[in-house]
Amino acid sequence: MALKGALSMGRLSNSMVSRQALQKPRAFISRRGQSFSSTGTVLASMPPAGGPQPSPAGIPETRGMCKHDLVGQLLAAKEASGKTFTQISKEIGLTNAFTAQLFYNQAQLKSGREEVLRKACPALTDELVAAMKRAPMRGFDPSILKEPHIYRMTEAVTHYGESIKAIMNEELGDGIMSAIDMYATIDVIKGKAGENRLVISLNGKFLPHVEQVSEDNTAKSPK
């Protein structure tokens, strides 16, 4: 009976730990032992436990580094600049949302923009810039949908989704808005009462659904 009770307590303890882990806010852990919030702010520092040696600028090599670790190092470099994403975006000539995507490894840094980015964010090493220039594996951790703001954004889009689609169809016909040929910006304005208000703009190309005419099919199936 004692053994059975101990096993039950063990399962209960593991279950509680699992639930607590899921409830923790999302953070990026760098190989330097620093954890970063989704804004790039350093949350805590821990002693390093092995891993690649830091470069002269204090940023580890990126060879063999997973996306999670790479993002931690990119955010560390951004934090070292003391600038916001919007400030950096103005210096490099990109939208603030796209600039943030670069640091979260959700967008590719195009050739010709390395110098201006390094000037805006001096802590970026050659290795980090090279990693930013590679085509990223885009995606997201499903657990971020539990974060209150992201959940509310998802809720807002789904709540207004049918109405947005109906207006789009009325104005442009049957189609979708591209998320590839799209410009995203985040702005802060003042309301009538002087309150801060957030303006999120998604400027996407309209892509009409095509009628699949057989004669236009250039990749016909073999007979």
Render pLDDT for 142-160 as a digit per residue (tens, 0 to 9). Answer: 999 999 999 999 999 999 9
Confidence of residue 62 (pLDDT cuts 50, 70, 90): low
- Pick the more confident residue, 127 or 13: 127
> Are 167 and 160 spatial neighbours (Cβ–Cβ below 8 Å)?
no
- pLDDT band for position 15 (cuts 50, 70, 90): very low
Q: List the catalytic residues.
A: 152, 155, 178
Per domain, the residue ranges of the chain are: 25-133, 142-209
Superfamily of domain 142-209: Cyanate lyase, C-terminal domain (3.30.1160.10)
| Mean pLDDT in residue range 189-193 | 98
DSSP class of 201: E
Burial class, 47, CB count within 10 angstroms (exposed 0-12 / middle 13-18 / buried 19+): exposed
Distance between terminal CA atoms of the chain?
71
Q: How high is the pLDDT of residue 1?
A: 52
* pLDDT at residue 31 is higher than 80: no
The yes or no reply on domain 25-133 and CATH 1.10.260 is yes
Q: How far apart are CA 97 and CA 170, in angstroms?
A: 29
pTM for the model: 0.71
